[in-house]
């Protein structure tokens, strides 16, 4: 069948890496119909909005969305995030943010003496509620007793569905699931999260569970990543842990993610974990691997497992060969050089 896929390249290096992902996907699954949307901070500066008010409606009919990154100096980050990313995640019920973190061949872990077997973690992040909430605000502004409140929202439905999703992934993988908590500090939301986790754990007797405070879990990722497999966390905790895990496995340039609607009644959206990297934007040297692997996750979500595996293999083969490396991997190659090499290898598989 022919898939219709929307791209939102966005800002900065998002534009460069998305072009490479499209290049690779076209080689493994010819005939995809691509539609590009120029929603970005540049669009915001021109029109006053990151995307048009009917943005979600325009995307609703696509099979999937490939997003670059949004964010640009001069436009506050809360505008780019709340004007595009968060509304889309919520409009399409993408309540799972899936972030596989692996040590890839030919890349160096920040952790010495670690092998690929030690570093293969799947972070399942809650993507629709929790700490990222619009409820709150400043009180008594300008007065000595000024203060702000920032509320979190943890619903029964929201906690149950993400935790159940994580148990299902753990069942398919090693059977090990660790939940990130902080019930000693956040004394309302986290004990509630823990109680849902413990209730659902009863339904999965074969899964070996752990609950760790998020600070200790951060240390565990650095010190004993081999003891971890699937990690489930709230929106904030999952966000932080996945950047940490990506950094220790070789950097943000390699880590993909998916904003997934498991019920598949609306498109899911795939993107690199990294942002628009203004410090290297326009230089053509961003590593496209994270975005290309996001493309592989997109294919796998559509059920195109053969094509997804070819992309994954091609990335591994090219990185293992080590002949085409972008500056973050210690080489002189451009974004397009690495994308082209991966596309060529994928076409051979
Ligand atoms: P960032 O991920 O854009 O950059 C962090 C550091 O990693 C920079 O030094 C950058 O050069 C490097 N880096 C990132 N991706 C790379 C790649 N593919 N190849 C080589 N080096 C890479 O995070 P930062 O600087 O905190 O945020 C920049 C902007 O991106 C902000 O406006 C932020 O809001 C936005 N952002 C957007 C996201 C999204 O659209 N989903 C996610 C994260 C940040
Ligand atoms: Mg993040």
DSSP 151-186: --B--HHHHHHHHHHHHHHHHHTTSEEEEEE-TTTS
**Strand runs (DSSP E) across 51-134, as ranges?**
64-69, 96-102, 120-126
Q: Has residue 224 got a pLDDT over 70? A: yes
The architecture in CATH of the region 109-249 reads 3-Layer(aba) Sandwich (3.40)
- For the Cβ of 76 lying below 6 angstroms from any atom of ligand 1, the answer is no
> What's the pLDDT score for residue 249?
83
For residues 99 and 86, which has the higher predicted lDDT (pLDDT)? 99
138, pLDDT greater than 90:
yes
Domain(s) labelled CATH 3.40.718.10 in the chain stretch across 1-102+250-349, 109-249
Atom 38 in ligand 1: which residue has the minimum CA distance? Answer: 275
What is the pTM (predicted TM-score) of this model? Answer: 0.93
pLDDT per residue as tens digits for the range 44-86: 999 999 999 999 999 999 999 999 999 999 899 889 988 999 8
The per-residue pLDDT for 346 is 96
Q: Which of 33, 42, 49 is nearest to 14 (CA)?
A: 42
Q: Tokens 């992040």: give the residue.
A: 125
Q: How confident is the model at residue 116 (pLDDT cuts 50, 70, 90)?
A: low
* Strand 64-69, strand 268-272: pairing: parallel
Mean pLDDT of 291-310: 97
- Helix, strand or coil, per DSSP, at residue 126: strand
At 240, is the pLDDT very low, low, confident or very high (cuts 50, 70, 90)? very high
- Is residue 277 lining ligand 1, measured as CB closer than 6 Å? yes
Ligand 1 center to residue 11 CA distance, Å? 10
Measuring CA to CA, which residue among 80, 93, 74 is closest to residue 49?
Answer: 80
CA distance 308 to 297: 7
Pocket test for ligand 1, best of 247, 252, 337 (most atoms within 8 A of CB): 252
Mean model confidence pLDDT for the chain:
94
Other CB atoms within a 10 A radius of the CB of residue 216 amount to 12
Higher-pLDDT residue of 1, 20? 20
| Cα–Cα distance, 260 to 167 (Å, whole number) | 16
Cβ(79) – ligand 1 distance below 6 Å? no
DSSP structure class, residue 75: B
What atom in ligand 1 is closest to the CA of residue 14? 40
- Which structure tokens are listed for 105? 């061949």
CA–CA dist 9, 271 (Å, integer): 10
CA distances from 168 to 66, 165, 200, 237, 261 (A): 25, 5, 11, 20, 15
Q: Which helix (H) or strand (E) holds 149?
A: strand 147-150
The rounded radius of gyration (Å) of the Cα atoms in the chain is 20
DSSP reduced 3-state for 34: strand
Confirm if 165 and 262 have CB atoms less than 8 A apart.
yes
Is 263 a residue of the active site? no
CATH number of 1-102+250-349: 3.40.718.10
Q: Which two tokens stand for residue 212?
A: 């760790």
Catalytic one of 239, 312, 328, 337: 239
176 confidence band (pLDDT: 50, 70, 90): very high
Proportion of the chain above pLDDT 90, given as a percent: 86
- Would you state the pLDDT for residue 110? 73
* Protein residue with its CA nearest to atom 10 in ligand 1: 277
């Amino acid at each position: 069948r022919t898939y219709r896929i929307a791209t939102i390249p966005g800002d900065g290096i998002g534009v460069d890496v998305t072009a490479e992902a499209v290049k690779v996907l076209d080689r493994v699954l010819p005939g995809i119909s691509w539609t590009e949307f120029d929603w970005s901070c540049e669009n915001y500066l021109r029109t006053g909005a990151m995307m048009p008010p009917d943005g979600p409606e325009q995307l609703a009919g696509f099979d999937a969305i490939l997003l670059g990154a949004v964010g640009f100096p001069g436009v506050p980050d809360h505008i780019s995030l709340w004007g595009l990313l968060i509304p889309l995640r919520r409009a399409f019920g993408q309540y799972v943010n899936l972030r596989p973190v692996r040590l890839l061949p030919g890349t160096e872990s920040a952790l010495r003496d670690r092998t690929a077997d030690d570093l293969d973690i799947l972070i399942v992040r809650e993507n629709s509620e929790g700490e990222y909430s619009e409820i709150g605000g400043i009180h008594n502004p300008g007065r000595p007793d000024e203060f702000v409140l920032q509320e979190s929202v943890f619903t029964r439905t929201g906690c149950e569905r993400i935790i159940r999703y994580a148990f299902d992934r753990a069942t398919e993988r090693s059977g090990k699931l660790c939940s990130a908590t902080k019930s000693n500090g956040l004394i309302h939301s986290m004990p509630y999260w823990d109680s849902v986790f413990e209730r659902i754990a009863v339904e999965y007797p074969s899964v070996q569970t752990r609950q760790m405070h998020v600070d200790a879990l951060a240390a565990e990722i650095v010190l004993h990543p081999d003891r971890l497999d699937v990690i489930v966390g709230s929106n904030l905790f999952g966000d932080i842990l996945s950047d940490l895990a990506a950094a220790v496995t070789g950097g943000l340039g390699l880590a993909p993610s998916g904003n997934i609607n498991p019920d598949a009644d609306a498109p899911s959206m795939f993107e690199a974990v990294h942002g628009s990297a203004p410090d290297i934007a326009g230089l053509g040297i961003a590593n496209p691997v994270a975005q290309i692997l996001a493309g592989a996750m997109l294919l796998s979500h559509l059920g195109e497992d053969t094509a997804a595996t070819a992309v994954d293999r091609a990335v591994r083969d090219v990185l293992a060969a080590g002949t085409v490396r972008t500056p973050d991997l210690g080489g002189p190659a451009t974004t397009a050089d690495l994308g082209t090499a991966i596309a060529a290898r994928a076409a051979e598989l």
